[in-house]
Structure 1
Amino acid sequence: MGKSDIVSWIEENESKFVDVAKQIWDHPEVGYRESFASALQIKVLEEAGFTITAGVGDIPTAFIAEYGTGKPVIGILGEFDALPGLSQQVCPEYSPVVPNGPGHGCGHNLLGTAGVEAVVALKEQMEVERLSGTIRYYGCPAEELLSGKTFMARSGAFDDLDCTLTWHPWTYNSTANASMQALTAVEFFFSGRTSHAGAAPHLGRSALDAVELMNVGANYLREHVPDGSRIHYQITNGGAAPNIVPDAASVYYFLRASDRKQVDELKERLIKVAQGAAMMTETSVRWEIKSGCYDTLPNKTLNELMFKQAEAAGQMTYTPEEEKFAEELVQTIDPSVIAAVKRQMSDKNADTLLNPHFYNDTNQFGTTMGGSSDVGDVSWITPMGQIMTACAPLGVQLHSWQATASFGSTIGMKGMQYSAKIMALSAYELLLDPNGILEKAKEEFAASTKGVEYKAGIPADVKPPVSNKEAFLEPTI
């Protein structure tokens, strides 16, 4: 009866958690500023009887909510930060709530709320059955800046977990079997000497010249990096005016590769490019590491456990109004994008905008996708299971206004409820664990890590940017 009781509890309390997700969607906050979302989730968890540890990793909005005692210790990860510039109403045409304002274009209003719902539902069942074990919800800030969990991990927040579960909003239901890339974000600051660009250019030493030469060098470097690596950059300061030789300029780089070692090697090569540019322009250069997350390490044992909960969770269904909304929303997307998605989905039902089927594509193990996430750090500390659930119509791209509209709609809320059921049911099985699933997951984890111990990719002297206004404007994925 335990599983059916958990599902019934989630369904009976659906409106409460839909309201929480909608409130966070209505109050979008970018990374390290998620005070509303963090406080709201803490309030819900405190009222449910969880013990709260706030300010984890020296981040005011990071927290851990815990219930129970003893082993196993099971974590569920949650996020709640929004993206800049993606404000959008729940409607199928472009209509920002606040022009150029933030919005939940990655669905973290759903992601964190589902985690809260899952642990509260599980706690209710633990009390009924008097189950031993410890469950935790991790309120993780600034995933969009790819550093919140890294700072939390650096502080040891995940070290005593036996395993963790998480999910992400998507356009269909699937286990997350492909790895995401490791990433380092580093900003370079060049210093030169100012002068009048017309009257005395020979007296100046242009920091902007150094930036541009560095970018040229980086573009030549692209040919000589491992396949699948990525180098992308943004000039963050190009000087004050054309007639002033700039004495300060900066450029911000994202470096991605299939694993942490390759990214670290790429960073060292890029630093040499920056130093060469400084030498050529008689300027100086310094750099700051902003984030340094690991590649994700999928755990087949835990992913299959989550996949097996689909029958107990029940299949999602959609109303005619939701199907109409999906059709109208997808019509706003460039046809070439839709065609590319259909090619990618050739082995699935690519013509169904709202697809309730749950896929477990085991062929994805050993492959790498282009995005990055700081959940990778956690996956190198403890075994991690992850799924994606349908919270938007097929064809909608994350980090778009169409995604923001979807994640505030009833379509998004249904995907959230589904993921809460899957996570709660999976954690319940791990608490009982008659088949030794947790031990199998740990054995797989040990084989996958090959003895490599986690070391945070952000240096110890770099602090969370909780007072740095510019830190809240950095895009990702």
Structure 2
Amino acid sequence: MKNILIKKLSLVLLFFVVCNVQSQKLSKNKKALIQSVEKHKQALIKISDAIWSAAETAFEETKSAEILASYAEKQGFTLERGVANIPTAFVATYGSGAPVISVLGEFDALPSLSQDTKPTKSPLKEGNPGHGCGHNLFGAGSLGAAIAIKELIEAGKIKGTVKFFGTPSEEKFFGKIWMVEAGLWDDVDVNISWHPFAVTEADVQSTLALVDFKVEFFGQASHAAADPWNGRSASDALELYTSGINYYREHVKPTVRMHYHIQDGGQVVNVVPDYSRLWVRVRDTKREGLMPVYERVMKMAEGAAIMANVDHKVSLISGIYEVLVNREGGKILQENLELLGPITYSEDEIAFGKKIQEATQKPLIGMDSKITSLKETSENPGGGSTDVGDVSWNVPNINLKVTVAPKDTPWHSWAVVACGGMSIGHKGMIYSSKAMSMTMLDLFENPDLVQKVKDEYKERKGNVVYKPIIPEGLPPIPTQKK
């Protein structure tokens, strides 16, 4: 018992020694940033929890956007609401002159992921949305970083401009594409972003490019028993089309991903359906690899329509670029993560995490927030897609991942929702505010670092001319459809 007590005391002493050493390495301005984040901590948690409770989906985040925008306005930011013809998109700006450093904030939820803050599947209301990607934390954490920088500008410690971008609909229609098209990053020198995750690291990996499109088939209805020969089945065309996609999977490169969601396959069994519809998504690690697959899959829709003797229509929804990595920015961020050190957790939080792992059939290893060395950038990364990619092809971008859920947690699931509404998620969010604001400060204080980040961006982008993958007209806002 005595030996155990001595070991515990030694660990506590080591923790305080490490914290003291790290504190001594922090500059006066970085200490001020941390103090600012701590000052706003409870307000940021309250904001995050309010967005978590609102759980609004793509382009319908009215409450969530206003919660963030109004708090930024109260802190002295100048607000532009409804930018890029999107009611829930906004820009909060403070300061003047160069450099101009921006930070992204997302806040949309996912459908049908309602969940209480419990480590077992427990919907608050079955079928309702939930923050299965942690975007309630994303927006609030980024706002915390912007406010900390704003207070240093206000105090005359640094010069320049900070911008907080409220970016809706990352999960479905990819709102940042329209915001990029509107030129909102044209005057920005460097952008920084983060994403809730199950590890903490400077993210120097790319993502997958994708294209979303809708396929509709139009046939002729008839009685399914009395005169089916008078019908032309839109459902047959849909099935033939999905069969074609599935056979095609064998003949694409391993980096390609193809998904579809049948939205309407007919309404009743005794009618030959005259209408069917599905949402199709194609991905690859690079846009140039994606486009030929996209064109082939579109042609398959015509083939299916011919076989079923129906008409068809293909409509582009939107598409996004892969993230353009910036390792120079990653190096700056990595140094600040090492200064901050890992997030620490209470015994109750570790137990909560292990219960999540038990419920999702993962190894019971708890939380992982250790700071690893900066990784090599993979040529063909796995994972998902994000419209941060489109931002990164228009301005140098630095990415951060922060632990907000236990190791190996299934993403886009109830488990992330549960963690995002309690202290595990809150700790990750506050950590992100500190890490991003410290990295932004380095850019404000050192023009050479800004130039290094910009030089790498120009080299990696090369001669590529960015062209947004969006249909003509306004963004697909639900109120504009009515």
Same-fold call, TM cutoff 0.5: yes
2:465 aligns with one of 453, 456, 466: 453
**SS of residue in 2 equivalent to 1:193:** coil
Contact 1:193–1:245 (Cα < 8 Å) also in 2: yes
Structure 2 counterpart of 1:308: 335
Bigger mean CA offset, 461-470 vs 450-459:
461-470
Distance (whole Å) between structure 2 residues aligned to residue 200 and residue 356 of structure 1 = 64
Return the index of the structure with the highest Cα Rg.
2
The 1:229–1:128 alpha-carbon spacing in structure 2 relative to 1, beyond 3 Å, is: same
Structure 2 counterpart of 1:375: 388
* Alpha-carbon displacement from aligned partner over 1:28-70 (angstroms, at most 9, x marks no partner): 1111111111011111000111111111221100001011111
Structure 2 counterpart of 1:134: 161
Structure 1 counterpart of 2:16: none
1:42-441 residue pairs with structure 2 within 5 A?
42-335=69-362, 338=363, 352-433=365-446, 436-441=448-453
Structure 2 counterpart of 1:36: 63
* Alpha-carbon displacement from aligned partner over 1:217-251 (angstroms, at most 9, x marks no partner): 11222222233101111211111212211111111
1:5 to 2:17 alignment: no
**SS of residue in 2 equivalent to 1:65:** strand
Bigger mean CA offset, 449-458 vs 258-267:
258-267
Query: Which residue type is aligned with residue 129 of structure 2?
Result: P
Q: CA deviation at 1:301?
A: 0.7
Unaligned runs of 5+ in 1: 339-350, 471-477
The 1:175–1:153 alpha-carbon spacing in structure 2 relative to 1, beyond 3 Å, is: same
Query: Which residue type is aligned with residue 445 of structure 2?
Result: L
Query: Which residue type is aligned with residue 433 of structure 1?
Result: N
Contact 2:111–2:127 (Cα < 8 Å) also in 1: yes
Query: Which residue type is aligned with residue 400 of structure 1?
Result: S
Structure 2 counterpart of 1:464: 476
Distance (whole Å) between structure 2 residues aligned to residue 106 and residue 410 of structure 1 = 16
Distance (whole Å) between structure 2 residues aligned to residue 246 and residue 93 of structure 1 = 41
Distance (whole Å) between structure 2 residues aligned to residue 200 and residue 462 of structure 1 = 43
The 1:184–1:462 alpha-carbon spacing in structure 2 relative to 1, beyond 3 Å, is: farther
Query: Which residue type is aligned with residue 226 of structure 1?
Result: K
* Alpha-carbon displacement from aligned partner over 1:273-318 (angstroms, at most 9, x marks no partner): 1011111222111122222011111110111111111244354221
Distance (whole Å) between structure 2 residues aligned to residue 113 and residue 398 of structure 1 = 20
Number of paired residues? 455
Contact 1:178–1:367 (Cα < 8 Å) also in 2: no
Contact 2:285–2:380 (Cα < 8 Å) also in 1: no
Contact 1:275–1:285 (Cα < 8 Å) also in 2: yes
TM superposition score normalised by structure 1: 0.92
Query: Which residue type is aligned with residue 405 of structure 1?
Result: A
Unaligned runs of 5+ in 2: 1-27
Q: CA deviation at 1:364?
A: 3.3
Distance (whole Å) between structure 1 residues aligned to residue 424 and residue 341 of structure 2 = 16
Distance (whole Å) between structure 2 residues aligned to residue 469 and residue 352 of structure 1 = 47
Contact 1:45–1:116 (Cα < 8 Å) also in 2: yes
TM superposition score normalised by structure 2: 0.91
Q: Identity over aligned residues, as a percent?
A: 36
Q: CA deviation at 1:197?
A: 1.6
Query: Which residue type is aligned with residue 387 of structure 1?
Result: L
Aligned-CA RMSD value: 1.7
